[in-house]
Structures are given as C-alpha cells and as structure tokens.
Amino acid sequence: MERAELTTEQVLKRDIPWETYMTTKLISGTGLQLLRRYDNRAESVRAQLLDDDGPAYVQVFVSILRDIFKEETVEYVLALIDEMLTANPKRARLFHDKSLAKEDTYEPFLRLLLKGNWFIKEKSCKILALTVSARPKTQNGVVANGVASNSKTKLTTIDAVLRGLVEWLCTQLKKPSHPSRGIPTAINCLAALLKEPVVRSSFVQADGVKLLIPLICPASTQQSIQLLYETCLCVWLLSYYEPAIEYLATFRALPRLVDVVRSSTKEKVVRVVVLTFRNLLSKGTCGAQMVDLGLPQIIQSLKAQAWSDEDLLEALNQLEDGLKDNIKKLSSFDKYKQEVLLGHLDWSPMHKDPLFWRDNITCFEENDFQILRVLITIVDSSNDPRPLAVACFDISQFIQHHPAGRVIVNDLKAKERVMKLMNHESAEVTRNALLCIQRLFLGAKYASFLQEWS
C-alpha cells in the first residue's frame, strides 16, 4: 500500500517497540510508562489519561517526533495525536500548557511538513493548524508555546511557524503533493488559519489569493461542495482585509462568486458567499461590478427561497438594500466605466445618447485617458464582434465630442488598429470601424483645408 493512502486506523494497528527505544535512550523510563498506559487502550481510558495528565503525554509525543526518525514510528505518533485532537479539538490547548514552556512544540511538525511522505505531511499540517489556532492570546500580542516574547530560550517563533505553514499551503495549491487530497487539505487548514490577521497578511504577500480563484466554481458532488464551501470561507475571511480585497477585484473573483450563488442550493455555501458580497459591497468598484453582473436580480430570486438560516435572510435583505443604494449612486459615467473595464460592451442606451457624450466627455481624461486606452485595447484584442463594434463607435464619439479628440486618438495609435477591422467578417464591426476612420480622416482633411486658406 502506498504511504499516501494510509489511514489513521491502519497505522494505529501497528506494534511499536517502545522498550527498544528506551534501551537505546531515545525515550525515558517515565515516557515508557506513560506510553504503556496509553497505547492500545480504549478511547474512554485514553480520554481519562489525557484529562489527568495531558501535558505529559504531549511532551512524550513531541519528544518522540523530535528524537526518533523511523517513518513507521513517526506515522504512529502523528496518528495518536490526530486521533486525540479529532476526538476533542480543545485538547490542542494542551500543547500550550505552562509545564511545556521550554518545549519547542512546533518544530517537529514544521520539519515533518517539509520532509515527510504525504501521510506525515497531512497530519503535521492538520496538527499545526489546530495547535497554532489554540495558542493563548495576550493583550500585548501572542504567546508562543507559553514563552514570553522576551525569553532567551531559542524556540521556533510563531511568526516562523505561520510563514512556514502559509508557504507550504501555497505550494500545495500550486503543485499538490497528493493528487486528490493536497488541495482540500490546504484549503481546510487555510479556512482555520485565515481568521488571524497575521496569516491574512502572509497569504496576500505570498500571492496566495489568486490561487483560490480557480477553485470558486459550481460544485455537484459532496466532496467538491465541501471544497467549494471552505474556499468561499477563505474568501469571506479575506474580505475583512483591505489588501486582499484589491486582489479579489483584480483576479475576477466576483463573477465566479456570482456564478456560485446563482447555481448553488447548499445553504452554507450561499450564506458564506452572500456574507462576502455584503463585506465587499462598499469597497472600490465592487458594488458597481455586482450590479453589472446582475446580482440584484439573483438576490431577489434567493429571497424567494425557503432558507432556515436567519443570518442568511438578514444578509440578503442588507445586500439588497445596499445594491439599491449603489444603483442610485452610480452616475451614467460610472456605469459606462464599469461596462468598459469589465469588457462587457453592448448597445446600452448611453452609447448613442448625445447628452451622455456632451456631459461626460471630460471624464475620459481621468487617469491619463484610461477608459479610451481600454477601448483601444478592446479593438486590438477582442474576438467578439459586439464589443468590437461598440468600441469603434465609442472612439468615433470621443473624436466627435472632445476638442482634441482626433489628436489624442492618433497619438494613442488607434487608427492602425481600427483600420484592421475594415475587412472584418461582421458587417456591424466594419460599419462602425468605417465611421471611426471617417471621423479621423475628416478631421485631418478639414485641418489641411484650413491651413491652405490661412
């Protein structure tokens, strides 16, 4: 059997020669006594032993992982710890007992995360995530392993642990060590760790946000629904962190989240996505994007369904009100700008409205003619006839309405790009490309005519 396919139950059926380890002084006599009482006992017996002497067992387990390198034994002890924490996650606090102040309870797991087989990596990751999350908090910061930050004892710092963990989790998302369990394990741990601001910061700095985006897609099987839920949970936690919000907007997370909430029937998935939308609504252009993506109509549809979660119902009402306010606040140019930036160009009324162009023509000068540059990029790169036609028409409108329109468009090298569309297979594209070129050349001829008579 491949080590990657091992289960905790299978590993715990092994007989480990603890006496041999004591003979070779790899474990102490006290350690041997504790292990004899604990090993191969009923769960109720183990639970009582942990209640009575939990920190001592943690110390024995950690010392074995630190001093013994035999793979079968390492797997066995990790399985014991995993079983202990699965039965009661609050036992992770035992790793931070004051009696373990001089023990480096993080180091063995951090090392095994990088060097072990998949079973070892997966268990180490899970144990680290639980123990890190359970560490005691103080008013002045965080206490790692029960040792004050001014201690001279050389222990693995919490910062080093979190950096190592985040780096490993990002690596799993890029190139999983296990084909089916690598990504779910990483996402599961991230969903627990991203509650901490320091982890959010490390994750963003490691360029981790963009690794989540491909995982935001409608799911059908139970496993894929759980992965989707935990991914959306990560995005929700990141929506409380300003630098992450910029990434979420840049890497097109919103369209994917809208697709998920439109198609999902799983209440917990809908709830976490709606809560994410509520957080993002007032951030930058997110509200405008939500309107453009048709979220107001989706929210109305969701409100008509029978949800049992009161938080979800409240969030839907708040989101609906927020979107209505957003629509009211959006000026015609804001709507136009969103349409251009998202590449969703269509024949909405404003394109052919002379008043729109007259009232908003100076807005095109913002950010060094950003919107005009995007229109020219669409002309150069889009394969869709409709956006191509609309972009050509809008450039011709800019030429007509801006006092220096022809000069600016020529300076931005738009003429050559538009001319390439004169032979386009779509009549709609060629008609609007011709209109654009006519306005460019008309300006040139008119200018030369005036020069001759001056």
Structural domains in the chain, sorted by start? 1-134 (no CATH), 191-329 (1.25.10.10), 343-452 (1.25.40.150)
The closest of 153, 70, 74, 134 to 109, measured between CA atoms, is 74
Long-range contacts of 260-264 (CB under 8 A, 24+ apart): 260/216, 260/217, 260/218, 260/228, 260/232, 261/298, 261/302, 262/298, 263/218, 264/218, 264/219, 264/228
Residue 10 has pLDDT above 70, yes or no: yes
Using alpha carbons, select from 172, 176, 119 the residue that is nearest to residue 3.
119
pTM over 0.75: no
Task: Give CA–CA dist 133/212, Å, rounded.
Answer: 21
Q: Each residue of 160-200: pLDDT tens digit?
A: 999 999 999 999 999 999 999 999 999 999 999 999 999 99
What's the pLDDT band for 252 if we cut at 50, 70, 90? confident
What is the rounded end-to-end Cα distance, in angstroms, of the chain? 92
Report the C-alpha gap between 105 and 145 in whole angstroms: 7
H/E stretch holding 141 reads strand 141-142
d(CA 248, CA 380): 26
Distances 36 to 33, 88, 184, 223 between C-alpha atoms, Å: 5, 22, 35, 38
Q: How confident is the model at residue 1 (pLDDT cuts 50, 70, 90)?
A: very low
The mean-pLDDT minimum among 45-59, 280-294, 419-433, 434-448 falls in: 434-448
- Average pLDDT taken over every residue of the chain: 90
Residue type at position 80 = L
Digit-coded pLDDT (tens) for 16-63: 999 999 999 999 999 999 999 999 999 999 999 999 999 999 999 999
Contact 40, 34 (CB under 8 A): no
245 residue type, one letter: I
Q: Which residues contact 333 (CB under 8 A, 6 or more apart)?
A: 356, 360, 363
The phi, psi pair for 135, rounded to 5°, reads -65, 150
Alpha helices in 295-353 (DSSP H): 295-303, 310-329, 332-341
Say if strands 137-138 and 141-142 run parallel, antiparallel, or are unpaired.
Answer: antiparallel
For residue 144, what are the β-bridge partners?
A: 147
Cα–Cα distance list, 211 to 121, 175, 186, 190 (Å): 20, 11, 11, 12
Residue 310 in this model has a pLDDT that exceeds 60: yes
Q: Report yes or no: 120 and 76 within 8 Å, Cβ to Cβ.
A: no
For residue 247, the surrounding DSSP H or E stretch is helix 242-250
Asked if residue 383 has pLDDT above 60, the reply is: yes
Rounded-to-integer distance, Cα 376 and Cα 373, Å? 5
Residue 451 has pLDDT above 50, yes or no: no
Q: How confident is the model at residue 435 (pLDDT cuts 50, 70, 90)?
A: very high
Inter-CA distances, 355 with 217, 305, 326, 359, Å: 41, 42, 23, 6
The model's confidence at residue 443, banded by pLDDT at 50, 70 and 90, is low
- Each residue of 107-153: pLDDT tens digit? 999 999 988 799 999 999 999 999 999 998 763 444 444 444 444 45
